[in-house]
Every structure is written in C-alpha cells, then in structure tokens.
Amino acid sequence: MARDKGEAKSGFQLKVPKGTKDWDGKDMVIRDKIFRTITDVFKRHGAVTIDTPVFELKEILSGKYGEDSKLIYDLADQGGELCSLRYDLTVPFARWLAMNSSIQSIKRYHIAKVYRRDQPAMTKGRMREFYQCDFDIAGIYDPMLPDAEILRITCEIFEALGWKGRYTIKINHRKILDGIFEVCGVPTDKLRTISSAVDKLDKSPWDEVRKEMTEEKGLDRAVADEIGKYVQQKGGRDLLTELQKDEKLSSNTSAKQGLADMDLLFTYLDTFGVVERISFDMSLARGLDYYTGVIYEVVTEGSAPQTGEGQKIQQRAKKEPKSRNGVNFDGDEDRSNDPSVGVGSVAAGGRYDQLVGMFSGKKDIPCVGVSFGVERIFSIEKARLEAEKTQSSVRTNEVDVFVMAFGGSLLTERMQVCKQLWDAGIKAEFSWKVKPKLPQQFKAAETNGVPFAVILGDTEWAEGKVKIKEMGLSEDHPDKNGVPVEVKNLVEEVQKRLEDSEKVGTDVEALEKMGEVKIEDAEEAPKTS
C-alpha cells in the first residue's frame, strides 16, 4: 500500500501539532520586517528588553485570565512542580517585577512565543503557538501620560508597517464599565462574568449577549436592558461629554474617576496627533481579570467575522458540547475557511495596577502596556501585499551585490571582490560554480531581487577595473550595460549607489521598481547559509 506524503517509514505521519506551523521563504521575510518595525519603534521610545521562561508555575497563571483560563496549556508534573506554558507576556512580567523589588520603574519590551489551546484558524493568524510583542511601562507617574505614549507607540507601529490609517484603536475604561454595572444593579459577584459577556459585542449582536447575561449567567432582564443602553454606544470625545452629563454615572465614584481619566487621555492623544485613530467604544471590556483602568484593542479590515449570521453560529457552536467517539472535545479543526471567524484584534492592552501586588503581597507597582499579535498582523499584511500585487516582489534575502564573471571563470577574482565587499560590511554573493554561465548568474540575481551586480571580465580585470550594473534598468537607459569603475574604488562606489538607491532593503514599494520576481524561479539561485 502506498504511503501518504509525509508519512515516515516508522508508520506515523510527519506533521506539526494543530494550531502550529513551520515558517519559511517569503513568509519569513514578511515576518522579519514586522519584527524589525516593531522593535525599532520600541527602542525609539527608550525601552529595554527582558526574557522569561516559556513555562511558569501553574499557580502563577491561575486566576488571571477570567473565562479564558481554560485555554492554558498545563504540563505534566516534572519533579514535583506543576507548570503551564505561558498564556501571555504580561503575567510573567508582573511576576518578574515582584521578584525584583529593587526595580520600581521600567520601560520594557519583550518579544516571545505564547501558547493558548484555542480553536485555530491558521490563515487568519489564530494559532495555538504565536509571537507576542509587548511594550509595558511600570512605575508611578502622573495620570494618563504613560497610557497616552503607549497609544502613540501603537500608531507609530502600524503607520511604519504601511497601514496608512486603515486601523482603529478602540478604547474604554474598566472603572467606567464597573460604574455602569453598579448603577444598573449588577451584583458584585457577577461584575467580571457580565464584563466578559459585554466583551463579545464585537463578535455577536446585542440580543445574543443579552441572552447570555440573563439565561446563562442569571442576570435580571431589566438590569441587562439598562446595561444595553450604555454598552452599545461608541464615538469620540463627544460621547465622553455625553457620559459626563449622565447624573447616574457622575454620582458613581468608579465611573467618575474613569471619565476623568478619559478626559485627560483625550487631551494628551490630541497633543500626540493620534486622536483621529481612536474610537471610544463602550462595548470593549477585555475579558482578562487583571485590567484596572484604560483598556484598548486595535482592529482593522478582516478583524471581524464576515457575516452576522456566522457570528451567531459561532457563538452557539462554542456553547454546545461536541463529542467524538463519546469523548468531549472543544474544537480542534482549523476554521480558516469559516466566514464566521475573523482575524480578531491585532493588538490589545491596558492598565493593570494591582497585578504585581498580587504576587509580592507588598506595595503595588502601577503598569500599563500593549501587546501586538505578530501572526495576526502577518495574515493581514500578507493579504495586503497580495491585493497590491507586491508580495511576489518580496526578497528572500538582503544581498545588495551579486559578483559575476563574463566570458570565463575568474573564480578567485570573484572571491577576492566578495571578500573586499564583505570586509566593508556590504552584503554580497557569487555563483558557486567554477565556470558559471552569464545568463544563469543574472537569473540568480534577479530571482533574489539583488539591486546591483559587479561584473568581472578578463580584459577589464587586467586593467584593474570592473563594471557596476544597476539591475532592472530599461533597455534604452545609458547605464544599462554597467558603469566601469576602478577596483580600488569599488567599495566606495558601491556604498554611494546603495545610499542613493531606493532599492535597498525589503521595502516592497521600492522593490516594485525592480520588476516582479517569481519566487518559483529560486531553484536556479545559489543558496546562502
């Protein structure tokens, strides 16, 4: 019997676990650009970086994520310690702060993998293993200043990625929500569970959320209706002004404080020039238990499910137990092609002032932060490149110069030129054939999107010269066949051209000028380590 593709001789099928994937090729190039863009912005704002273990003691993670705690991956007992894979980077950061009591203030970033046993939708960036890029500010500062800078950082990152305003930052305040729940009559012991229900309004219509509140969580129908009057509102500073006029909210201590914070925040966001990206969305609740103040998440095209009916189906499916051979399971199938599943938020965060104190048992260290989901950003970025027909132009390496020979071997000479360029920090490569054919060398350079070629010929080399050719020039361009330069001046000439050229790097808009390069032609290209 023929074996399935990928099936090993031992009888098991070679595959990665559900909700995970291998990354390679141009996908890695796109991801690397995302990582570099995010890191550059983090460093611009003065952050230092830390790292923490990929797994934590189970008790560290327990009770921090509300209803999502069921998604934590627990590990088998090893040596008497019960551990779990980290669910996010925020709780480990708070644990780290509690263990390092000498640090009372820090601006840190952390880029690492986290794990959630969620239902995967791989092409939409909804995975079980994925990268988060976190930026957090810890310490006692005047109100809303760190919060405003976090939102400014968020805008800088998406603008640097080329999203050009095609995103919205939804913001709300936990104290305003708590105040609303209190004035509407929600019992104290139901505050968090009702908050989790409200948070589903971006995926489900109000009728479904109200039904969950009343039928599943036992909330009085009249109370639910009062909540509905508030949480279905969204706007900008105009909504804030209306809420400040609400006598019931103004008389509530929690809501009054939250509204004052938001008023100050809008002022700072206006100063930072990002207020046009903000939507004050009363339905935003963020289900995680540790948030205490301002909360926010970033959405864009593709974040939401595509159909309203699909939203209802998705919610019902989550509530109905499924079984396979009599064994219940919580949905392992990939739902990439399900129109009821969207990418979700691409970044989210908020203020969490009491989490560190929960670990240390001592004085709290106020914190505020944001987390970017790289795989979700990637899924939207890849779709954008495909729509703009630029994905095929993404370079699989960053080589700036291909050193090639015309009409002979010149192997050691090519090696000497590459050494000269490498010593100067210039990215270069050459064909690993003793006598390469010129068309094959050009094809290798074009396939990898290399912007410049240095061409060696027997006669020119004997005269101490080579040619520098800019790739992709039109047939009638005067420098189409290259420009002669002295070998002794080669590094200087290449550096000058690289500085002047818009083709350097992996910026897709610049690569379009070089013409489309087909990735499938890469088989003919020399492989670099």
Structure tokens at 421: 């360029």
Q: Which among 89, 259, 263, 68 is positioned nearest to 174, based on CA atoms?
A: 259
Distance from C-alpha of 183 to C-alpha of 187, rounded to nearest angstrom: 10
Signed CA dihedral, 53, 56, 60, 65: sign only: positive
What average pLDDT does the chain have?
83
Distance from C-alpha of 217 to C-alpha of 205, rounded to nearest angstrom: 17
Reported as a single tens digit per residue, the pLDDT across 35-87 is 999 999 999 999 999 999 999 999 999 888 877 788 999 998 878 899 999 99
% of the chain residues with pLDDT over 70: 83
Q: Which amino acid is at 220?
A: D
CB-based contacts of 168, cutoff 8 Å, min separation 6: 277, 278, 279, 298, 299, 300
Q: Specify the pLDDT at position 373.
A: 92
At 167 the three-state DSSP class reads: coil
> Does residue 100 have a pLDDT over 90?
yes
Are the beta carbons of 264 and 240 closer than 8 angstroms?
A: no
Are the beta carbons of 429 and 421 closer than 8 angstroms?
A: no
Q: Specify the pLDDT at position 324.
A: 37
Cα 432-433-437 angle, rounded to 5 deg: 120
Q: Which among 447, 497, 444, 453 is positioned nearest to 471, based on CA atoms?
A: 453
Q: Which among 430, 379, 386, 395 is positioned nearest to 514, based on CA atoms?
A: 395
Signed CA dihedral, 406, 410, 415, 419: sign only: negative
Reported as a single tens digit per residue, the pLDDT across 230-239 is 999 999 999 9
380 or 273, higher pLDDT: 273
